[in-house]
Amino acid sequence: MKLPTIIVNFKIYEQAVGDRALALAKIHEKVSNETGASIGIAVTAIDLQKISEAVSIPVFAQHIDPATYGCGTGHVLPALVKEVGAYGTLLNHAECRVEDMILEKSIKMARNLGLFTLVCANTPDKGAELLKFNPDLIAVEPSELIGGEVSVSKADPSIIEKAVNLIGKNRVLVGAGIKTGEDVKIALDLGASGVLLASGVTKAEDPYTVLMDLVSGLK
């Protein structure tokens, strides 16, 4: 995946599922095409096929289970995530944490299928610990700032510095409360390779304008 990048997690915000997800995904694609910025999106499993087919930017599942064909009611099957055209998957998001053993299995399965892995951690130390599973990127997001008004960039930039020191360059995204180009710029200046965010875009009245502002922080 081209770095630096902006990944927007649609979560299950009402504005970002179903037909609204498709419209929002198209806006992300438009901004990426107009600016050349690397922008990815993470959508609910129900929308994954429709959106993967409709846009050319990387589309991520929000979660996979380490499941194989057969018995596994309700599980998100990695092979099917690949089959419907997803680029990769988020894993271990604060709202969908899994045990390390499950995480390791999921990362292995994703890698074998050619799915890009973006693994979340709530602290730099936890992020560094997850390096042993060799995910493609690690997103450090302090849980207490998720969905809030103050970004990790402004609340505690030392978290970003520490994450980059412990995890390494070209490996770290940061997230929680990110809303502006300035937030993105602070994160990149401290060595991060991009940001993971949600509400700043999904709840915005004008997601196009917000995305254009976010992208301005990549320069």
Annotated catalytic sites, by residue? 93, 141
Nearer to ligand G3P, 40 or 200 (CB): 200
Q: How far is CA 141 from CA 149, 177, 199, in A?
A: 14, 9, 14
- Cβ 69 to ligand G3P shortest distance, Å: 29
- Dihedral-angle region of residue 109 (phi above 0 means left; psi in -120 to 50 means alpha; beta otherwise): alpha
- Give 1 or 79: the residue with its C-beta nearer to ligand G3P: 1
Nearer to ligand G3P, 24 or 178 (CB): 178
- Residue 68 CB, shortest distance to ligand G3P, in Å, is 27
Which residues, 6 or more positions from 60, have their beta carbon under 8 angstroms from its beta carbon?
A: 7, 40, 41, 42, 43, 86, 87, 88, 89, 90, 116, 118
Alpha-carbon gap, residue 210 to 178, rounded angstroms: 11
Per the structure block, which two tokens stand in for 92?
A: 């271990």
- Rounded Cα–Cα distance for residues 175 and 199 (Å): 11
* Residue among 153, 144, 161 nearest 195 (CA): 153
Backbone angles phi, psi at 218, to 5 degrees: -80, -15
**Toward ligand G3P, which CB reaches closer, 7 or 110?**
7
Binding site for ligand G3P (CB under 6 A): 9, 93-94, 141, 146-147, 175-178, 196-200
Q: 67 or 196, CB closer to ligand G3P?
A: 196
Task: State in angstroms the smallest separation of the CB of 139 from ligand G3P.
Answer: 7
Minimum distance of ligand G3P from residue 214's CB (angstroms): 11
Beta bridge partners of 60: 42, 88
Shortest Å, Cβ 70 to ligand G3P:
31
**Rounded-to-integer distance, Cα 105 and Cα 112, Å:** 11
3-class secondary structure, 134: coil
